[in-house]
Amino acid sequence: MNLKETNRSAAVVGAGMTLFASRLQETGKEMTWEAAKMALDQAGLTLADIDAVILGTAPDAFDGVHKKGEWLLDGAGGVGKPYMRVYTGGGTAVMAPIAGWWHVASGMYDKVLVLCEEKMSSVQPHAQSAFGHIWDPILDRPLKPNLVWIFSMEMQRYMHKYDVSYEDIASVAVKNKRNAVGHPCAQLADPDITLEDVINSEPMALPVRRLDISPPSDGASAVVIVRGDMAHDLTEIPVFIDGVGWCIDTTMWTNRDLAFPEFVVKAAKMAYDMAGIDNPKKEIDVAEPYDPFDYKEVQHLEALGLFEPGEAARATREGKTQRDGELPVCPSGGLLGVGNPIAATLGIKVGELFWQLSGQAGVRQVKKDIRTGVTQAWGDLMQFSSVLVMRRH
């Protein structure tokens, strides 16, 4: 891999997102249009300025239509332009902007619009009915699985291997749902939530309880990525994409080490190498790891090299990852607080780092000086991770 010699630098100059809610009246096309308009407005651009469009969206089964890329095209602003869909499950949230990055860094395009959309409420009676199609039809589906099982099994294995307490992990949910209070798009913000609330919430598939899980959601998000040398003309403080990485493990999930996601380590190494980061613990100022479950935030923080394996949960309980802590983690409120419209979490991962690093996060703004952030998403059959390092130059 030749990570240090891409053609060009690329920067984010605008971001936008819709409300995240369990059910939106808007169609997917209407949501993508609204998110795109916000991002373009913030960049001071119109669609005519955009050279190419990337659309990220997860399973077709949520919508019951094939080829969701084409289904959403008109709302995404891709008509008459080079246009492509990116789909790596939950990992789409960071993979779609990575695709946006390579469109620019390759030298092919100057200005690219990246959209991510998810409408999970259309499928009845519950998004789980669509998730059922993820499982292997021969080995897994005859056992009538629920997708929560797989996360529960991972969490159990993680807690066992590293001797991590459930209470320490649950403190992630408390932090993120409280952080989300400042987010105008949030679905599950709760200023009063306590550790007891999470610990005593309804058992789903133990050790996973209801408040350990981010909610299914509808929403759309967008970012505008442009050539680095154009960025300062478009916005006061552009945020540069200095490192990208991604990696996928085997689909044979029962053959994986469920306690520790080595593929996240590999994706992070690629992004850190490219960004010239040798010691992430010292060089990363803010993190937005993927947190669809509270245990995933800590597992991801460890795989991203920000904590030693097994230590992130206790650090969370000790307050080290609070917005005003040593390493602010998920200052957006994350998926646990703002909501989990799979691909559309772009807005609380890459979007949030853009707003944070450019000083535009309002009441969510991390107070200390932050220059370098890492964000990460995770998906497919819990096997894929995308990582992005963002910097204010």
Q: Where along the sequence are the contacts to other proteins (CB under 8 A)? A: 14, 17-19, 21-26, 31, 34-35, 38, 41-44, 64, 121, 124-126, 128-129, 132, 137-140, 142-146, 148-149, 152-154, 156-157, 160, 184-185, 202-208, 218-219, 233-236, 250, 252, 254-258, 355, 360, 362
What is the residue type of 46?
T
Residues near 255 by Cβ (< 8 Å), separated by ≥ 6? Answer: none
Residue 164 CB, nearest distance to other proteins (Å)? 13
For residues 306 and 361, which CB has a smaller minimum distance to other proteins in the complex? 361
Residue 337 CB, nearest distance to other proteins (Å)? 15
For residues 26 and 297, which CB has a smaller minimum distance to other proteins in the complex? 26
For residues 152 and 171, which CB has a smaller minimum distance to other proteins in the complex? 152
For residues 325 and 359, which CB has a smaller minimum distance to other proteins in the complex? 359
Distance CA(253)–CA(249), nearest Å, equals 9
Residue 107 CB, nearest distance to other proteins (Å)? 25
What is the torsion angle, in degrees rounded to the nearest 10, for the CA atoms of residue 153, residue 155, residue 161 and residue 167?
A: -140
Residue 123 CB, nearest distance to other proteins (Å)? 11
For residues 84 and 148, which CB has a smaller minimum distance to other proteins in the complex? 148
Assign residue 159 a region (left: φ > 0; alpha: ψ between -120 and 50; beta: otherwise).
alpha
Residue 154 CB, nearest distance to other proteins (Å)? 7
CB 220 within 8 A of CB 115: yes
Residue 144 CB, nearest distance to other proteins (Å)? 4
Residue closest to 17 by CA, chosen among 323, 286, 344: 344
Residue 141 CB, nearest distance to other proteins (Å)? 9
Residue tagged 């190494």 (tokens): 269
For residues 138 and 282, which CB has a smaller minimum distance to other proteins in the complex? 138
What's the gap between Cα 95 and its chain centre?
9
Residue 278 CB, nearest distance to other proteins (Å)? 29
| Strand order through the sheet with 10-17 | 83-86, 52-57, 111-119, 218-227, 10-17, 239-248, 384-391, 372-379, 286-288
CB 372 within 8 A of CB 390: yes
DSSP bridge pairs for 389:
243, 374
For residues 182 and 243, which CB has a smaller minimum distance to other proteins in the complex? 182
Burial of 139 (0-12, 13-18, 19+ CB in 10 A): exposed
For residues 18 and 171, which CB has a smaller minimum distance to other proteins in the complex? 18
Q: Longest C-alpha distance within the chain, in Å?
A: 57
DSSP letter string, 286-313:
EEE---SBHHHHHHHHHHTTSS-TTTHH
Give the pairing of strands 372-379 and 384-391.
antiparallel
For residues 280 and 334, which CB has a smaller minimum distance to other proteins in the complex? 334
Angle at Cα 220 formed by Cα 186 and Cα 222, nearest 5°?
Answer: 110
Residue 7 CB, nearest distance to other proteins (Å)? 26
Residue closest to 387 by CA, chosen among 280, 238, 311: 280
Residue 14 CB, nearest distance to other proteins (Å)? 8
For residues 210 and 314, which CB has a smaller minimum distance to other proteins in the complex? 210
